[in-house]
Amino acid sequence: MLSDAQLSDWDRDGYLVLPDFVDPSDCDALREHVMGLLRDSEMQDGGLTVFDTNAQSHAQDEYFLTSGDTVRWFLEDGAVVDGELTRTLELAVNKLGHAMHDLDPHFDRFSRTPELAALAADLGFVQPRLLQSMYIFKQPGIGGEVTCHCDHTFLWTEPQSVVGFWFAIEDATLQNGCLWLAPGHHRTPARTRFRLTAPGARGTTTDVLDPEPWPTDDLVPMPVDRGTLIVLHGTLPHWSAPNTSPVSRHAYTLHLIDAQADYLPDNWLQRGPDMPLRGF
């Protein structure tokens, strides 16, 4: 799947850009599938309490922390006030997560292909496990900034093993909030760790391991056409700007870990015993 040149780029830079990895028609089909799920979602008939900015943050924490082995919608901040949407649902939704790849046949097919299995093997995975899926909307005009972070911060294994597959479902541009990456900075350790306050707890905390700010001056933009796959090393810093343009920037992300590494019991994303992680 990967050439020697691509593998040395990966080691040096901590990311790979693979244009035309997915057929554009498959991107369109996934987008249509998600929009159908949204049209059929129970949010269309109310059920918005958990998103209300006036609601107890405890309920929102619970909704997020128990989403690792199910499929849930997340709305933009401020999209619900006093139980009512402040804009149409199609423009209010922030993302869908976090186990579509195991629970939704369409996402399962998109996420488990021979090409992705070969790519994971080339990247050094011995026992790849599909841990987390997210469909991100990056809405026109209101899609918010994603602050600079690395994925290992959120999906910690010992040793580090997480890799992110970021699929452009729509064209990602400078205007609509494409990814920005800090090449080479994957060789420095994660600076923070986001985790549960204790295994099984319903609160979270962030450990600051290195107070030095992220190298934001070194970030370079990665505008890509739909169908492109960007592969992100788990300790590569990345960021995306708010979407101030009139067009959306849909993306699908899949995070893999290696079952040879230890997935820590105080990571925020946990699964019940009846739904173990699976590979390709």
Residues that bind Fe ion (CB under 5 A): 151
Q: Which one, 104 or 151, has the nearer CB to Fe ion? A: 151
Cβ closer to Fe ion: 30 or 254? Answer: 254
The nearest distance, CB 100 to Fe ion, in angstroms, is 17
Nearer to Fe ion, 151 or 258 (CB): 151
Minimum separation from the CB atom of position 146 to Fe ion (A):
7
Q: Which is nearer to Fe ion, 151 or 170 (CB)?
A: 151
What residue number has its CB nearest to Fe ion?
Answer: 151
> In angstroms, rounded to a whole number, what is the distance separating the alpha carbons of residues 1 and 15?
15
Judged by beta carbon, residue 213 or residue 246, the one nearer Fe ion is 213
Q: How far is the CB of 240 from Fe ion (least distance, A)?
A: 9
Q: Of 279, 220, 226, give the one whose Cα is nearest residue 252.
A: 226
Smallest gap from Cβ 5 to Fe ion, in A, equals 26
Closest distance to Fe ion from the beta carbon of 255 (Å): 8
Of the two residues 41 and 188, which places its CB atom closer to Fe ion in the complex? 188
Taking the complex as a whole, the smallest distance from the CB of residue 215 to Fe ion amounts, in Å, to 16
